Amino acid sequence: MNNALPAPTSRRRVSVAREIQSYKNIGYLLCSFFLGLFYFVLLVPGICLGIGTLIIWLGVPILFAVVWLWWQFAAFERSLAISWLGVVIAPMTIAPPRSRGWWQPFQERLSNAMTWKTLAYLLLKFPLGICSFVMTLILLVLGIGITAVSLVLGFLTAPFYALIISCLRWLGSVRTCSFSTCSMVSPLSPDNWRAGCLA
């Protein structure tokens, strides 16, 4: 049994260019750079400021606010990927707080692995967003440039192509007329046959 995937055809390539999902993917790749830059600029100074001011206890509310902020950013990224890319992502689960205060839920959130996974994802989105933005932009410019050059060359060479086709058709019609003239001459007169063929 052959389980090989079918080779992409020209019809498949055209259908991919017509699908809305293709342009959603391109938009997501282009937006990754700006979102990653926003997350990086906001989270890294906030974390450094919170850690630096822990000595005077001012860093505790700052870190609490930063943790809550990056959790909201991760939830936004999850909803954006689901709506734009059409992928299925498991929900970000966290254990319910055991007390109604703010310190115990904060400790439980810090001890949850999902919190640090979301932080790593948000910080890595900036360098990965740069790569995806540059590659997507280069491929878009190359595709548009190659298409434009092909259209211009097609318009410039169309008159010459039409002239060559007309010349070939004229030569074919002349050859057909010569053969018909030779066939109309009587075969009993070789001189007339040669004269008709050479005419």
Question: pLDDT tens, 92-114?
Answer: 766 565 656 666 777 777 788 88
Range of the domain at 175: 145-199
**CA end-to-end span of the chain, whole Å?**
67
Q: Are residues 165 and 96 in the same domain?
A: no
Domain boundary among 121, 137, 153: 137
CA distance 186 to 188: 5
Q: Are residues 176 and 133 in the same domain?
A: no
Chain segment 120-144, per-residue pLDDT in tens: 999 999 999 999 999 999 998 998 9
- Give buried/exposed letters for 1-24 (b at 16+ CB in 10 A, else e): eeeeeeeeeeeeeeeeeeeeeeee
Q: Are residues 115 and 21 in the same domain?
A: yes
Outline where 53-112 has alpha helix (H).
59-85, 103-110
CA distance 89 to 106: 25
* Claim to verify: residue 114 and residue 20 sit in the same structural domain: yes
**37 and 97 share one domain:** yes
Examine residue 8 and state whether it is found in any structural domain, yes or no.
Answer: no
Query: Who wins on pLDDT, 174 or 58?
Result: 58
Dihedral through CA 78, CA 80, CA 81, CA 84, nearest 10?
160
b/e 93-111 (16+ beta carbons within 10 angstroms → b): eeeeeeeeeeeebbebbee
Over residues 31-70, the pLDDT tens digits come to: 999 999 999 999 999 999 999 988 888 888 898 899 989 9
Confidence of residue 1 (pLDDT cuts 50, 70, 90): very low
Domain count, the chain: 2
* Rounded-to-integer distance, Cα 128 and Cα 32, Å: 8
Percent of the chain with pLDDT over 70: 73
On whether both 31 and 112 belong to a single domain, the answer is: yes
pTM: 0.67
